[in-house]
Amino acid sequence: MTSPIDPIMLDKLAQVAVKVGLNLQPGQDVVVSGSAETLPLLRRIAVEAYKAGARLFIPLLSDEELTLARFQHGGDDIFDHAADWLYKGMAEAFDGNAARLAISGDNPMLMAQQDPDRVSRANRALSKAYRPAAMKISNFDINWSICAYPGRSWAKQVFPDIPEDDAVAKLAKAIFAASRVDQPDPVAAWAAHSAALHARAKWLDDMDFAALHFTGGGNDLTVGLAEGHRWVGGGGKAKNGIECMANIPTEEVFTTPHRHKVEGVARASKPLAHQGTLIENIEVRFEAGRIVEARASKGEAVLKKLLDTDEGAARIGEVALVPHSSPISQSGVLFYNTLFDENAACHIALGRCYSECFKGHFDAEEVMRRGGNDSLIHVDWMIGSAETDIDGITQDGKRVAVFRKGEWAS
Amino acid sequence: MTSPIDPIMLDKLAQVAVKVGLNLQPGQDVVVSGSAETLPLLRRIAVEAYKAGARLFIPLLSDEELTLARFQHGGDDIFDHAADWLYKGMAEAFDGNAARLAISGDNPMLMAQQDPDRVSRANRALSKAYRPAAMKISNFDINWSICAYPGRSWAKQVFPDIPEDDAVAKLAKAIFAASRVDQPDPVAAWAAHSAALHARAKWLDDMDFAALHFTGGGNDLTVGLAEGHRWVGGGGKAKNGIECMANIPTEEVFTTPHRHKVEGVARASKPLAHQGTLIENIEVRFEAGRIVEARASKGEAVLKKLLDTDEGAARIGEVALVPHSSPISQSGVLFYNTLFDENAACHIALGRCYSECFKGHFDAEEVMRRGGNDSLIHVDWMIGSAETDIDGITQDGKRVAVFRKGEWAS
């Protein structure tokens, strides 16, 4: 059986994951999660990691059928529980300077047929268990990265109308292009791309806007920014001193909004695939930073459960700018996967903010004082399109064109 | 592609693993380890586990190529390290009454081509990291079990001269027969088999031998037994109150020798596959319980490293009786896998004893006082054959026939 996935491209993706994504340093452990189906990529990554001096590559492999078995055959009383000890251990590994790599490749619709109440309870329990490790990631304590592998069920979801092998080949090609491994020197291509994102972030930092005003595509949304917010894009330096590229691919520059200063209407420009459910045509209204009305043409119940997760789940912790001309957007593919879809359009994220998006290292309390948000969740959803206009509002109230018709204004 | 493994038999093995092996109780978590290749069995086990009321099935999946990558591409300074946090977490799961299942299915010769020094250092680091969890298993704190899956590289090792698919089919058949899932009612068959082993253990307990004297097949070995030793065979009750069958298959009754009272010569009747290396024609001499001479025609360096692991590694912690007529022995297959080969012949084990093999619950100190042994390792090796004679030596010095020509004397 020949695989529809080009092995040379997998080799290059493994190199990008280790050299660009993690920028793995000698002596580091790597905690790696992905489904067992991603092994053709994981095995190459392990080889690259050990060549780069890794001490131990620790795979935490999942399997869609094992995951589903619980929802299909488990009793009703088991869903408020997760393997706390595993994630506590992972946090301990990060304390010991382990790097973190996640391979995204699962069926984004895996949970679509399962009881939403079970799914929501299980997700909540998992988020709570994962929190000690997740905080170290969102606080950028260690170098971490996510990249993608063209899993079969994901490929079938993205390209339902063509034979399965063709779908896998097509998704593989889209992933390789977005991850820049189809370029002659992928590592150099990433260096150039990262520099361009850094320049955009620097301009926004220099402008130090008080707020951004989104219009077009049904939006009339003012996003106040946190005090001392910092724009981040491309590679960044983790607190362990290692420069890494947290997302492969990435096209965004993003920062922390003020959790009390978001006002108006936001309309999703793409469906949101949230842990197995597709939520379509989201429209929400913010008052004083909080979502006070929420609608969706499909998956509204899941959306509302999500917003009810905790106090911070109905506020936003990230705003991100992506031009409509981004390669992922231009591919025209809806990936049903945040790692890709968030890099096709401007977006906001419900829930937890990134403490790295501040000018200075602040503790949790100071982050909150400056308008950062906290929650068990961090869920991105897309509001940008070819119609997106954005004005930056300066600290003294002037308007500056940031985006026009989906593109950088300058 | 059709699998050479009968899916109906896999269903039955999954039922035996959950209902007999673990006897899983509602509300229990299950920590399951096995290679990703065993997923066709693991998925069935997950379904059975959830049907039996499992709270969470936690897979810890390995992969032979990921394991090998470290030895093939890693630097020389990385092998004294293991993922302590993972095994510490596993011990924590056991404290929370999680059950433990291991699926054996890997290539027993996986490490054969790797640097023995690296292998030995890595094994030692792993044993140390695993110790908190391993102690809870060897102390029988929770219900646990091991069963087997016919992995491809294992099948090729066992049947090197036939086509790969045939080898897998043949190994599958041998595993299913030994695991009694080829019988009309496997669960009932296991109940009857367990009762027969219990009866043997009871007779040996009633005899309360001071020592066993092995002759035949090059052995002249006196194995003194620990004070208050207890014979164990078939199903047993873990300290969490759950009856389980720790090995699928099992044909042995076993107990704890006295670590200072083993004298004479022991000769292996089968090669020992130890974590990837085949050790052939082992012959050792004991003085006052300690191995003072050790030879092997192949793998002697690995054997000696093993004996040097720690103080207890050159003493024995288990003696086990298995008639030569056992089904696994009669199959004539050398499995290169302790779970099977130890059930084909009488054997002894280097290293750690099982505290359950005492009449009473003793703490570590009392176990040692009574002659039990402690070590990072527990490695079984076979000394029994069709020539094995065993005399039991009673507390007042009389001899009683226990085995003659490899079979129970009565």
Tell me the C-alpha distance between A220 and A28, whole Å: 46
Query: Given a cut of 80, is residue A2 above it in pLDDT?
Result: no
- What digits encode the pLDDT tens for the residues A192-209? 999 999 999 999 999 999
CA angle B274, B223, B344 (to 5 degrees): 45
Contact B83 A54 (CB under 8 A): no
Note which residues in 74-113 of chain B have CB less than 8 A from chain A.
74-75, 78, 81-83, 85-86, 88-90, 92-93, 96
Number of helical H runs and strand E runs in chain B: 12, 21
Give whole-number Cα distances, A173 to A48, A80, A251, in Å.
22, 39, 18
Give contacts of B1 with chain A, Cβ < 8 Å.
1
Contact A89 B93 (CB under 8 A): no
Give contacts of B82 with chain A, Cβ < 8 Å.
56
Query: Given a cut of 90, is residue A217 above it in pLDDT?
Result: yes
- What DSSP string runs through B281-309? S-EEEEETTEEEEEE-SB-HHHHHHHHTS
What count of Cα atoms within 13 Å lies in the side-chain half-sphere of residue A329? 24
Strand order in the sheet with A316-321: A232-233, A253-255, A316-321, A347-351, A378-382
Element (H, E) at A120: helix A116-138
Exposure string over A296-318, b if 16+ CB within 10 A, otherwise e? beebeebbebbbebbebbbbbbb
Query: Given a cut of 90, is residue B224 above it in pLDDT?
Result: yes
Which of B43, B47, B74 lies closest to A50 in CB terms? B74
Q: In terms of C-beta density within 10 A (0-12 exposed, 13-18 middle, 19 or more buried), how is residue B368 classed?
A: middle
B63 touches chain A (CB under 8 A): yes
Give contacts of B78 with chain A, Cβ < 8 Å.
27, 54-56
A227-230's contacts with Cβ under 8 Å and 24+ in sequence apart are A227/A258, A227/A370, A227/A371, A228/A358, A228/A359, A228/A360, A228/A362, A228/A370, A229/A255, A229/A256, A229/A257, A229/A357, A229/A358, A229/A359, A229/A370, A230/A201, A230/A205, A230/A255, A230/A256, A230/A356, A230/A357, A230/A358, A230/A359
Per domain, the residue ranges of chain A are 7-178, 200-233+251-408
Contact B88 A93 (CB under 8 A): no
Query: Given a cut of 80, is residue B276 above it in pLDDT?
Result: no
Which of A47, A56, A70 lies closest to B50 in CB terms? A70
Of B20, B5, B174, nearest in space to B101 by CA = B20
Give contacts of A14 with chain B, Cβ < 8 Å.
none
Lowest-confidence pick of A270-274, A373-377, B405-409:
A270-274
Find all residues with CB under 8 Å of B44, minimum gap 6, and list them: B10, B11, B13, B14
Exposure string over A383-401, b if 16+ CB within 10 A, otherwise e? bbbeebbbbbbeeeeeeee
Residue in chain A nearest B69 by alpha carbon: A47
- What digits encode the pLDDT tens for the residues B77-92? 999 999 999 999 999 9
Contact A53 B75 (CB under 8 A): yes
Pick B2 or A17 by higher pLDDT.
A17
Which of B1, B42, B92 lies closest to A66 in CB terms? B42
Task: Tell me what pLDDT residue B361 has.
Answer: 86
Query: Given a cut of 90, is residue B273 above it in pLDDT?
Result: no
Lowest-confidence pick of A219-233, A266-280, B373-387:
A266-280
Lowest-confidence pick of A395-399, A404-408, B110-114, B203-207:
B110-114
Residue in chain B nearest A69 by alpha carbon: B47
What confidence tier does B197 reach under pLDDT thresholds 50, 70, 90? very high
Task: Tell me what pLDDT residue A112 has.
Answer: 86
Contact A85 B75 (CB under 8 A): no
Averaged pLDDT, B11-16? 98
Give contacts of A93 with chain B, Cβ < 8 Å.
83, 85
Specify the CATH architecture of the domain B7-178. 3-Layer(aba) Sandwich (3.40)
Lowest-confidence pick of A112-116, A320-324, B20-24:
A112-116
Strand order in the sheet with A257-267: A290-295, A283-287, A257-267, A219-225, A211-216, A389-393, A399-404, A407-408
Q: Which amino acid is at B47?
A: V
Residue in chain A nearest B80 by alpha carbon: A55
Note which residues in 6-45 of chain B have CB less than 8 A from chain A.
26-27, 29, 36, 39, 42-43
Contact B70 A39 (CB under 8 A): no
Which of A50, A73, A74 lies closest to B73 in CB terms? A50
Tell me the C-alpha distance between A259 and A240, whole Å: 28
- What digits encode the pLDDT tens for the residues B127-163? 999 999 999 998 899 999 999 999 999 999 999 999 9
Task: Tell me what pLDDT residue B165 has.
Answer: 96
SS3 state at A323:
coil
Contact B58 A93 (CB under 8 A): no
B68 touches chain A (CB under 8 A): no
Give contacts of B132 with chain A, Cβ < 8 Å.
none
A2 touches chain B (CB under 8 A): no
Contact B73 A86 (CB under 8 A): no
Question: Which pTM was predicted?
Answer: 0.89
Contact A58 B86 (CB under 8 A): yes
What confidence tier does A1 reach under pLDDT thresholds 50, 70, 90? low
Residue in chain A nearest B52 by alpha carbon: A74
Task: Tell me what pLDDT residue A138 has.
Answer: 83
Mean pLDDT taken over chain A:
95
Q: What are B246's two structure tokens?
A: 């720790």
Distance, CA of B299 to chain centre? 20
Task: Tell me what pLDDT residue B116 has.
Answer: 86
Residue in chain B nearest A86 by alpha carbon: B89
Do strands A219-225 and A399-404 pair parallel, antiparallel, or not at all (unpaired)? Answer: unpaired
Q: Judge contact between B297 and B280, C-beta under 8 A.
A: yes
Contact B57 A47 (CB under 8 A): no
Do strands B232-233 and B243-244 pair parallel, antiparallel, or not at all (unpaired)? Answer: unpaired
Which of A61, A75, A85 lies closest to B61 in CB terms? A61
Q: Judge contact between B252 and B342, C-beta under 8 A.
A: yes
Q: What are B258's two structure tokens?
A: 């006295």
Nearest Cα of chain A lies from the Cα of B297 at a distance, in angstroms, of: 33
Q: At what angle do helices A84-95 and B84-95 cross, to 10 degrees?
A: 150
Q: Judge contact between A252 and A320, C-beta under 8 A.
A: yes
What confidence tier does B6 reach under pLDDT thresholds 50, 70, 90? very high
Give contacts of A56 with chain B, Cβ < 8 Å.
70, 78, 81-83
Give whole-number Cα distances, B158 to B105, B106, B169, B345, B379, in Å.
12, 12, 12, 18, 20
Query: Given a cut of 80, is residue B275 above it in pLDDT?
Result: no
Averaged pLDDT, B231-237? 95
Q: Which residue blocks in B96-242 are alpha helix, DSSP H?
A: 116-138, 152-158, 164-178, 186-207
Averaged pLDDT, B385-392? 97
Query: Given a cut of 60, is residue B1 above it in pLDDT?
Result: no
Which of A61, A72, A114 is the best residue to mutate to test the B interface, defined by the most B CB atoms within 10 Å of its own CB?
A61
Look up tokens 């010991």; give the residue: A96
A with B: how many residue pairs have Cβ under 8 Å apart?
Answer: 128
Cβ atoms < 10 Å from Cβ of B348: 26
Cβ atoms < 10 Å from Cβ of A183: 16
Which of B61, B65, B83 lies closest to A36 in CB terms? B61
